[in-house]
Amino acid sequence: MPVALITGASRGIGAAAAAGFAKAGYDLLLLSRPGPDGLPSPELEAVANALRTQGRRVETAGIDLADAGSTEAAMAELLQRGLLPNVVINNAGAAYTGPLAAMDLARWQWLLQLNLTAIFQVCQAVIPGMRQAGAGLIINVSSHAAHNTFPDWGAYGASKAALVSFSRCLAAEERAHGIRVCTLTLGAVNTPLWDSETVNSSFDRRAMLDPGQVTEALLVLAQQPSNQVIEDLTLMPAVGAL
């Protein structure tokens, strides 16, 4: 039975991906920010319980990926539950809008932790098992902001550009171990990210991509034969950049 690990799985793209991969026959390792009690949030458990009724095995974990000091141990505990992920979808992330010259250092470090360093940590956690299995696919969700310039989105764009470079280097390093690494580059997607207190935008959300469309792209990447890889798949709204 194939297994997918999905970060940021309580809502938006992550929740849609969990449903799509469960329908495709995957068991799941789902993680998102913990609730106030440190346990998986009620939102994540609701996603998981709905998929369990479909006969899928679903393990959940409340992991604060913004806390670099706790991520390694939390990931190790999750991976000790008996499910080895064949596919890892690094979907969790954050955004910030504002001029670089006025950005608070702590906010910069928070954004880089979530959009880059946490992905580095998740990859370090799953790679030993994938190496032992001689196969695996890591999909890092990126943005067209990695390749284009948008005023007030500089920090976000820098974090995603770094993620692209990280993904390419990791792919080159792990190819000999049978591990494939790719990126899914997205235009604007209608998710709760736009409701975040760190994001100020007036985009027409009706013109954005839907999380279900993103899930279909993720499945395309995941269902490639093991002897080939789509190194990057770019998915944009038909209207272009918003």
For the question of residue 156 being annotated catalytic, the response is yes
Nearest to 76 by CA among 26, 126, 38: 126
Q: Which of 21, 26, 96, 156 is catalytic?
A: 156
DSSP 50-104: HHHTTT--EEEEE--TT-HHHHHHHHHHHHTTS---SEEEE-------S-GGG--
Nearest to 156 by CA among 96, 242, 90, 236: 96
Query: Strand 3-7 relative to strand 136-143: parallel, antiparallel, unpaired?
Result: unpaired
Q: Name the phi and psi angles at 6, rounded to 5.
A: -130, 125
Which DSSP letter does residue 41 get?
Answer: P
Please identify every residue annotated as catalytic: 156
